[in-house]
Amino acid sequence: MNIALIAHDKKKDDLVGFAVAYKNIFEKHTLYATGTTGLRIIEATGLEVTRFQSGPFGGDQEIGARIANNLMDAVFFFRDPLTAQPHEPDVTALVRLCDVYSVPLASNMGTAEILVKGIERGDLDWRNIVKKETGDEHGSDEA
Ligand SMILES: O=C(CO)COP(=O)(O)O
């Protein structure tokens, strides 16, 4: 699975802790992240993560483009609901694209716990069927 990891500043500690806790699951997948989040996760876990631009500089849009091209299978996006973001339109667009393409999105720790366990169980294997049907199988090592 191709998995995106993103967190706003006040949620970064939560996502980093989450990545540490579930490193054994995440290491079986292909990971992507916005710039600062990715750096924090790499430093804390040693996991291999492809980093895009920082969110306010286009990182959310880069991940959105991958969703639109059927190259992202799950998104963990720990948003900060209490702080205004300068790139709020990008945040909204990313969430919207998850809904357009039915890509599972965990926007908080509660949903993230369920999603990561579902990934481990193979609950998202239907994504591979979608990719096979559309010919979009590139981008992931995981079958
Ligand atoms: O702003 C973000 C998501 O909207 C995250 O970007 P960073 O990971 O670079 O902080």
CATH of the domain at 19: 3.40.50.1380
Paired tokens of 10? 């006040």
81 Cα: distance to centroid of ligand 1 (angstroms): 14
Residue 92 lies in a domain: yes
Query: Distances in Å between the alpha carbon of 13 and those of 7, 8, 50, 91, 102?
Result: 9, 10, 19, 19, 27
Residue with tokens 């430093």: 43
Q: Output the residue whose Cα is nearest ligand 1's atom 2.
A: 55
Segment 32-42 shows an average pLDDT of: 98
pLDDT digit string, tens, across residues 79-100: 999 999 999 999 999 999 999 9
Residue 82 lies in a domain: no
Residue 32 lies in a domain: yes
Is residue 92 marked as binding? no
Paired tokens of 48? 């291999």
**Predicted ipTM?**
0.98
Residue 12 lies in a domain: yes
**So which residues are the catalytic ones?**
60
Residue 139 lies in a domain: no
pLDDT of res. 133: 78
The residue range of the domain holding 68 is 2-73+87-134
Residue 80 lies in a domain: no
Is residue 131 marked as binding? no
Q: DSSP 3-state assignment of 6?
A: strand
For residues 81 and 9, give the distance between their C-alpha atoms in angstroms, rounded to a whole number: 11
Q: DSSP 3-state assignment of 7?
A: strand
Residue 140 lies in a domain: no
Nearest alpha-carbon partner for 34 in 70, 69, 60, 72: 60
Segment 103-113 shows an average pLDDT of: 97
Q: How many domains does the chain have?
A: 1
Residue with tokens 């999105």: 105
Is residue 55 marked as binding? yes
Share of the chain above pLDDT 90, in %: 87
For residues 77 and 112, give the distance between their C-alpha atoms in angstroms, rounded to a whole number: 9
**Three-state secondary structure along 19-86?**
HHHCHHHHCCCEEEECHHHHHHHHHHHCCCEEECCCHHHCHHHHHHHHHHCCCCCEEEEECCCCCCCC
- Kindly state if the Cβ of 64 falls inside 6 Å of ligand 1: no
Residue 141 lies in a domain: no
129 Cα: distance to centroid of ligand 1 (angstroms): 30
